[in-house]
């Protein structure tokens, strides 16, 4: 009510247990505007049925990448989108570049270059490796949409994709 009326909230999604369908005590609220989202995140958390609630402002997510990806590993902090584009545009059209980051936004030293065609990705993978800041980058061809092969890793449990940043200031693989 005090957020601006019935049209302030677009969607509420409650999280239930996969095992028995019971409520897990978590929900997501999507507001009609960024301003309303910020206002809600700054409000004092209300009590519901005697339990204090809290809210966390989530970072916006990038849409999933499209195209065929080439993995770049061992990247120095000095790498930029422009350096990568200048090197790999000879192979074909680059649709996007994304860099791996930690939750705090710090660079993780790897990224993906997305090409419009598999042919362009394969051509880029066959090129001389890019050298940045004295480092020769590790290059691996990934697959369509940036997902790896169907093999299973050596670790236990399920891995989740790292936070990604998209083209921006420092070559920042971001959201």
Taking only the tens place, the pLDDT of each residue in 40-92 is: 778 777 777 887 777 777 776 777 788 899 999 999 999 999 999 999 999 99
Determine how many CB atoms are found less than 10 A away from the CB of residue 70: 27
Contact 98, 69 (CB under 8 A): no
**What is the pLDDT, as a whole number, of residue 122?**
94
Q: With b meaning 16 or more CB within 10 Å and e meaning fewer, what string describes 142-161? A: beeebeeeeeeeeeeeeeee
Range with the poorest average pLDDT among 25-34, 68-77, 165-174: 165-174
Range with the poorest average pLDDT among 29-43, 82-96, 114-128: 29-43
**What is the pLDDT, as a whole number, of residue 170?**
37
**What is the pLDDT, as a whole number, of residue 27?**
82
**What is the pLDDT, as a whole number, of residue 73?**
95
pTM: 0.54
């Amino acid at each position: 009510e005090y957020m601006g009326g019935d049209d302030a909230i677009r969607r509420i999604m409650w999280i239930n247990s996969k095992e028995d369908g019971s409520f897990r005590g978590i929900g997501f609220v999507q507001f009609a505007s960024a301003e309303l989202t910020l206002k809600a995140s700054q409000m004092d958390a209300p009590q519901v049925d005697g339990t204090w609630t809290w809210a966390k402002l989530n970072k916006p997510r990038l849409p999933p990448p499209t195209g065929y990806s080439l993995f770049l590993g061992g990247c120095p902090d000095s790498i930029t989108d422009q350096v990568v584009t200048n090197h790999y545009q000879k192979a074909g059209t680059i649709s996007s570049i994304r860099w791996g980051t930690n939750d705090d936004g710090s660079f993780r030293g790897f990224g993906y270059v997305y090409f419009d065609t598999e042919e362009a990705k394969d051509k880029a993978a066959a090129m001389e490796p890019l050298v940045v800041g004295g480092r020769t980058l590790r290059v691996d061809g990934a697959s369509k949409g940036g997902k790896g092969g169907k093999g299973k890793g050596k670790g236990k449990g399920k891995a989740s994709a790292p936070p990604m940043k998209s083209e921006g200031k420092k070559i920042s693989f971001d959201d």
